[in-house]
Amino acid sequence: ELTVDQKSRLRLFLEDYVSENKREQMAEVLAHRTRHVAVVLENVFQPHNAAAAIRSCECFGFQDLHIIELKYDHRIDPNVTMGGCKWVNLHRHRAGNHGTRSALKSLKNKGYRIVATSLRPGCIPLEQLDLSTPLALCFGTEEAGLSEEAHEQADELVQIPSYGFTQSFNVSVSVALSLSSIRNRLEASSIDWELKTGERDDLYLTWLMKTANRGLTLARHWIGDKV
């Protein structure tokens, strides 16, 4: 593990291999990145829907996407993500028969409230969801929604308002609508949703390594010489 000073010097080294314009763009994006809300997909059947969800997370500035794969092993389509995989942290969970419980308990242990999107009684409208503390927003399959296990682990249930005959949206649309609404509310609030300085610096270093030509190789050589 590199020290804070070593990471700082490695960032300075890699910046020479990334254009000033790209570095400025990274700084602007990092200013709007958040880990205050994590996104969870459970058993999403269509790979293009998972890919579209990644793209929505990236576009709206949500850094962490958890994919619980109990039935389907997704191959993320790069044509749909439009490069989103490069900028978002994907956490994949395949922990046996209780993968959902294990994944959600892990998020609870990190301080996240578990919020399930649902059509069941007791749901509150999405716009009434309390955003003052960190939360993990969970989405289920296109056919059946979230599992019983996910509902049991949920601290709260929310529903995306619908005004037509069809009650539910396609999962990728649900993710996009939800994240757009939450993003707007966070930006207008006094909630401390921004990345901490250490998180921002570490993410910037990761992005530099991914952006620089042969960035990972350059970083390994630098570490070998300096550490």
Q: Is the pLDDT at 49 greater than 90, yes or no?
A: no
Residue range 40-47: average pLDDT? 85
**Which stretch, 42-56, 83-97, 195-209, has highest mean pLDDT?**
195-209
What b/e string do you get for 9-25 counting C-beta neighbours within 10 Å, with b at 16 or more? ebbebbbeebeeeebee
27: which 2 tokens? 């700084």
pLDDT of residue 48: 85
pLDDT tens for each residue of 118-129: 989 999 999 999
Whether the per-residue pLDDT at 43 is higher than 80: the answer is: yes
> What residue segments make up the domains of the chain, in order of their start?
1-33+195-227, 35-193
pLDDT tens across 75-96, in order? 555 554 446 688 999 998 875 6
Rounded Cα distance between 178 and 47, Å, is 20
Note the pLDDT tens digit of each residue in 160-185: 988 888 878 889 999 999 999 999 99
Class of CATH domain 35-193: alpha beta
Amino acid 149 reads E
- Assign 213 a pLDDT band (cuts: 50, 70, 90): very high
How far, CA to CA in Å, does 85 sit from each of 96, 143, 202? 25, 25, 17
Which residues lie closer than 8 Å to 29 by C-beta, 6 or more apart? Answer: 61, 87
